[in-house]
Structures are given as structure tokens and as C-alpha cells.
Structure 1
Amino acid sequence: MNKLTNIGLEKQDSVEIADKLNELLANYHIYYQNLRGFHWNIKGIHFFQLHAKYEELYNSALARIDALAERILTIGQKPLHSFSDYLRVSSIQEATSLSGDRETVEATHQNLSVIVSLERDILALAAEREDEGTVALVSEDINENEKTLWMLKAFLS
């Protein structure tokens, strides 16, 4: 029996990496939906800036969701694809009834911090298992997310 995936990874390694990528995918979906809600419901003096920023962030999150699902498929596994799975697996909670500038930025910072922490775990696992494709995908994402975290923190200062 062949122990390698069609791209040369150990099958068991790809299962473990996909499990973590699916966890990240679930968190990204809840983060994305939170951002949509913030975009739609933001109120206050920073409305124009945050309305545009949340749209930028949710569009970026949507692209990352697609890239994650495609990576899971590439390593021979199946991405989660139902909201019930996302809610079950995600560490990020749905944000409801938030519309103020400070509270939505704080929630976005907290959500993105969860994502970055999970990405760092995945980065270490993928590097250990010599999955360079996942390393590259996650490493690039961490860089962008850390910059966004810095900007959100600057807003809150």
C-alpha cells in the first residue's frame, strides 16, 4: 500500500496537517462573517474608514478561505464546507449586536489573534512534516495578518 499522497507527502502527515488547516478554515469563516456584520452595521464617527476597512478585510479573508480549501484538497484531504462544522470547530465566536468603532475593532483584533496563533502552530507542524506548500501559504498569511494586527492596535491606542 502506498503511503504517499499524489504530491509526495506522507498520507498520515497530510491528514494531520489537513485537520489543522480545517480548523483554520473554520475560524476564517467565522472571522469573515463577523467582518461582514461589522461592515454592514458599523456606526459612529469612524463609519467611513471602518466601513471600507471591513470590506477590505472580508474580501481578503474570502480569498484566504479559498486558498485554504484548495490547499486541503491539494494534500489529498477534504475541506469542511458546512456552517455547522465551522461553528463546531472554530475557536472564534460569532459576534452579534456589535456596531461601535472600538468594540468592532477590538473584536476583529481578538479574532485575528486567534487566527495568527493557529497559523503559527500549523507553520511549525508543516515545517516538521516537510510540507513546503503549506509552509509558504501560511507564512505569507501570517505576515499580512501581523501587519493588520499592528494597524488595529494602532487604531485602539
Structure 2
Amino acid sequence: MNKTILGLDKHQTANLVNELNGLLANFQIYYQNLRGLHWNIKGKNFFELHTKFEEFYTDSQVKIDDIAERILTLQGKPLHTFLDYIDNASVPVGKNISNDVQGIELVVNSLSELLKIERVILELSDQADDEGTNSMMSDFISEQEKTIWMLNSWLG
């Protein structure tokens, strides 16, 4: 039998699990970047950005859990070690960023990288008739595109 318990092609599902694990790793790095920005931001935009970065990392926590649970739903095993995350991530790592513009640029660049991964997953999930993953990616993409627009507006 070449179908999963969900009725999806096993080979296509295995590819999706692999890509979703890559997304999970990238979200974990993005999440940690946001924590660092929240803790270290300084300057006249401190109050605004301290709150905004907390909003972003709280949202990322939910998405991380959603991605891991989707991997499990597809009968895969989510990555769960820092070494796995570092080895499988492509988002930029932000270290010791306290400047507002640099912080926002890091978030925009990270979201842009996440969008690339999500669009690959969107296409693969469409080909696999995996509506659950497809819907999740569509939601992530539309939300992140709007966030990038808003952050670029903030940057001027």
C-alpha cells in the first residue's frame, strides 16, 4: 500500500515531512532571534518594539507547535534538538542586536526566508492533495506577507 493512514501518497508525504522539518528548524531560529531582540532592544522605539517582538515570538511559538503537530499528523517525527535546528536552518541568526532598524531588518529578512520555504511546501502539499498542510501554509504566507509590508513601512 502506497498510501498513508490519511490517504496521501507515502513518498509525497515523506517529502512534505522533510520540508516541514526544515521549516520547523527555521522557525526555531527565528523565534530565538525574536527573544533576543525583545530582550536587547534599546532606544527611542524601545516600548513599541519590545512589545512588538513579544507579539511576534508568541505567534511563532504557536506556529512552531502547529508545524510539529502537522509533522506528527503526517506520521513523521519533528526535529527537536538545537543541533538539528542549526544544521537545518537558513534564516539569518541575529546576535547582540539592540538597534531598532537592524532588528526590524532581521525580522524582514527572516520572514522573507520563511516565505521561500513555505511556498515550496505549499506547492508540494498541493501536488500531494494535502489540504491540511496546504491550508496552514496559505495562512502563514498571507500573514507574513502583510507583516513584511508593515515592517517595510515602518522602515520607511
Worse overlay, 5-14 or 26-35: 5-14
2:92·2:109 contact (CA, 8 Å) conserved in 1?
A: no
Letter in 2 for 1:139: S
Give 1:3 shift. 1.6
Note the alpha carbon deviations across 1:36-87, whole angstroms, 9 max, x for none. 0000000001000000000000000000000000000001111100010000
Aligned to 2:90: 91
Q: Which runs of 5+ in 1 are unaligned?
A: none
Rounded to whole Å, the distance in 2 between the matches of 1:104 and 1:148 is 14
Aligned to 2:25: 26
Aligned to 1:120: 119
Aligned to 2:108: 109
- Output the aligned Cα RMSD: 0.7
Aligned to 1:41: 40
Q: So what's the TM-score if we normalise by structure 1?
A: 0.97
Superposition misfits of 4+ residues, deviation over 4 angstroms? none
Give 1:94 shift. 2.1
Rounded to whole Å, the distance in 1 between the matches of 2:149 and 2:86 is 27
Give 1:21 shift. 0.5
- Aligned partner of residue 79 in structure 1, secondary structure: coil
Rounded to whole Å, the distance in 1 between the matches of 2:80 and 2:92 is 17
Aligned to 1:58: 57
Give aligned pairs, total: 156
Task: Give aligned-pair identity as a percent.
Answer: 46
Rounded to whole Å, the distance in 1 between the matches of 2:98 and 2:8 is 45
- Aligned partner of residue 4 in structure 1, secondary structure: coil
Aligned to 1:4: 3
- Aligned partner of residue 96 in structure 1, secondary structure: coil
2:29·2:89 contact (CA, 8 Å) conserved in 1?
A: yes
Q: So what's the TM-score if we normalise by structure 2?
A: 0.98
Aligned to 1:132: 131
Letter in 2 for 1:149: I
Worse overlay, 87-96 or 39-48: 87-96
Give 1:5 shift. 1.1
Aligned to 2:154: 155
